Structure 1
Amino acid sequence: MSIGNSPNSPEEDRSSAGPDRPSVGRTLQQARIGAGLTVEEVSTATRVRIPIVHAIEQDDFTRCGGDVYARGHIRTLARAVSLDPRPLIERYDADRGGRPAPTVAAPLFEAERIRSEPRRPNWTAAMVAAIVVVVGFVGFTFLSGGGRHEAGPVATDTAKADKPGPASSTIHPRAPQPKPAPSESAIAGLPKDKVTIKVTAKDGQSWLSAKDANGKLLQDGLLRQGESKTFTDKKRIDLVVGNAGAVQLYVNGKEVKKVGNEGSVERLSYTPGDPQAG
């Protein structure tokens, strides 16, 4: 029995992409290797389980639980290795025939919007409005009559009010005071027998892992742009910093000028006597 032209398997379709257009999984794997990250480190940073990370890098998305979860995993892994997730998601959808168009919900409610129920007259609001009008008219008549009899004193008081007051009563807006820059006294206030580290994702997000001298995990995950973390230990703080060029680092109150390059992974360790030169 001869076998005719059978459709290619998903693995054969992915292998036919060619070197000019690597698959989604291959692109994520190359970016991870280029960033110097292991699968375990990416799994820890993104909270995507290690078997799923391995499967996605092999273009096996069956373990994701559906297209929605697969797109979410692709987006998370791409950001962890400093990739733009949009082209990868578009390629994922294109390989599967495209994403289904969203359903337009507006026409479904058009008839309900047109056939609104007639409102019943609000007699309570009408009575309140009538009372307000009557009270306002009586008050206006009373004030108008009183104003004609007391026109003289009112004019006198107005003239007094128009006289300029003493110069000292003039209120000048206070100019905003500039924030003081960090001084040497602030650095001197840090404890000498401990190591204090402050990490800030200044120019972009970074992946950060921090442990104390006993190996206790103090931080493990993404540090979004603008976020800061501070760590203190009596002996030592060990750091693993991803995308080190985007990080601002202070050790014992002194800034470390060069942590690393953009996209690089740096492993650092500091003690209470560090750094020798900030």
Structure 2
Amino acid sequence: MSIGNSSADDRPSVGRVLQQARIGAGLTVDEVSTATRVRIPIVHGIEQDDFSRCGGDVYARGHIRSLARAVGVDPAPLIAQFDEEHGGRPEPTGAAPLFEAERIRSEPRRPNWTAAMVAAIVAVVGFVGFTLVSGGDGGEASTAADSTGTAKPSDTPEKGKPSKPADPKPDPTESAIAAAPANKVTVKLTAADRQAWISAKDHNGRLLHVGVLERGVSKTFTDSQRIDLVLGDAGAVKLFVNGKEVREVGEDGQVQRLSYTKGDPEAG
């Protein structure tokens, strides 16, 4: 009698999940390598479930976490599956006992009463001398203080003339995206309610950004001709193009490929 495979054996491998997510996001291995700084041969090896190039299980877990975030999947289940298939997560090594060096404590210093008495006598003599010298000049000092505190005629407003009104406060300046230059294409992306995976390229195909945009974080891209976008979760992205908000970007979980040029984004 044969025994059927369990549900855990039917699940796709860690490398297969990462490869399918990368393809679904429209990314090449080179783009993922650039975004995660994981070398191309290691990315190829992990997608084939070959972790020998990672340099150990600890580095393999770190590479899996980086690749998963770059292609927009949750790394926790993949790391748990890796641990299950490779003997479990290693137990943390206990901290070595610490030995505190014996401190050499200096003997407490005894108060120097002689120096304290000399300082007190000098202070008293100085105070008495200052009082005798400045005692006869008190009236003049008071008069000088009174004359100094008197306001000059030029400081007071002339009688019958209204005071000059304060300058009105300037209106708050508009945001940079609202003042986008007309001779360029400017795209601003914001992860409004949750994190979202995005990719942006200029008109030459040069990669400007790829990776996960955390919740509440914004990215702005500018080019002289065109910006090409790939949105891993279009419903999570708030999009402004050339100073104008694009209302219908896409649905939740939908992968969108968009291109924008100069001018009104809805005109074409």
Give the Cα separation in 2 of the matches to 1:260 and 1:47: 30
Deviation at 1:230, TM superposition (A): 3.0
Q: Does 1:116 align with 2:115?
A: no
CA contact (8 A) 1:45 1:207 kept: no
Say if 1:263 and 1:102 are closer, same or farther in 2 by CA, change over 3 A: same
Q: Tell me if the contact between 1:35 and 1:263 (Cα under 8 Å) persists in the aligned partners.
A: no
1:61 and 2:46 matched = no
1:49 aligns with 2:39: yes
Aligned to 1:219: 208
Which residue type is aligned with residue 207 of structure 1?
A: I
Q: TM-score, normalization: structure 1? A: 0.62
Which structure shows the bigger proportion of residues in helix conformation? 1
Residue 70 of structure 1 aligns with an amino acid whose one-letter code is A
Give distance in 2, aligned partners of 1:254 and 1:260: 16
Identity %: 54
Q: Distance in 1 between matches of 2:238 and 2:113?
A: 63
Which residue among 161, 167, 190 is the counterpart of 1:200?
Answer: 190
* Aligned-residue offset at 1:217: 1.8
**Partner in structure 2 of residue 238 of structure 1:** 228
Give the corresponding residue for 2:13.
23
Give the letter aligned to residue 228 of structure 1.
K
Instruction: Tell me the residue number matched to 2:220.
Output: 229
RMSD: 4.3
Specify the alignment match of 2:60 in structure 1: 70
Amino acid at match of 1:272: K
Unaligned runs of 5+ in 2: 1-6, 128-170
- Mapped to 2, the partners of 1:119 and 1:101 lie a distance apart of 41
Q: Distance in 1 between matches of 2:247 and 2:69?
A: 26
Structure 2 partner of 1:210:
201
- When residues 229 and 82 of structure 1 are mapped into structure 2, their CA distance, relative to the original with a 3 A threshold, is same
Q: Which runs of 5+ in 1 are unaligned?
A: 1-15, 144-178
Q: Does 1:91 align with 2:81?
A: yes
Give SS of 2:61's match: helix
Contact 2:200 2:227 in 1 (8 A): no
Amino acid at match of 2:38: V
Q: How does 1:104-143 map to 2 (within 5 A)?
A: 104-105=94-95, 108-109=97-98, 112-113=99-100, 116-121=102-107, 123=109
Over 3 Å counting, the alpha-carbon distance change for 1:182 and 1:258 in structure 2 is farther
Could you tell me how far apart the structure 2 residues matched to 1:270 and 1:243 are? 18
Question: What is the number of equivalent residue pairs in this alignment?
Answer: 225
Identify the residue that residue 268 of structure 1 maps to in structure 2: 258
1:108 partner SS: coil
In 1, Cα distance between equivalents of 2:27 and 2:242: 28
1:79 alignment partner in structure 2: 69
Partners in 1 of 2:188 and 2:231 — Cα distance?
A: 13
Q: Offset at 1:75? A: 0.5
Could you say if the C-alpha distance between residues 118 and 256 of structure 1 is closer, same or farther in structure 2, counting changes exceeding 3 Å? same
Deviation readout 1:34-76 (Å, 9 max, x if unpaired): 4454444433432333332232122111122221221111101
Aligned equivalents of 2:118 and 2:196: distance in 1? 65
The answer to whether the 8 A contact 2:184-2:222 is kept is: no
Question: Which amino acid in 1 is paired with 2:221?
Answer: T
TM-score of the two chains, using structure 2 as the length reference: 0.64
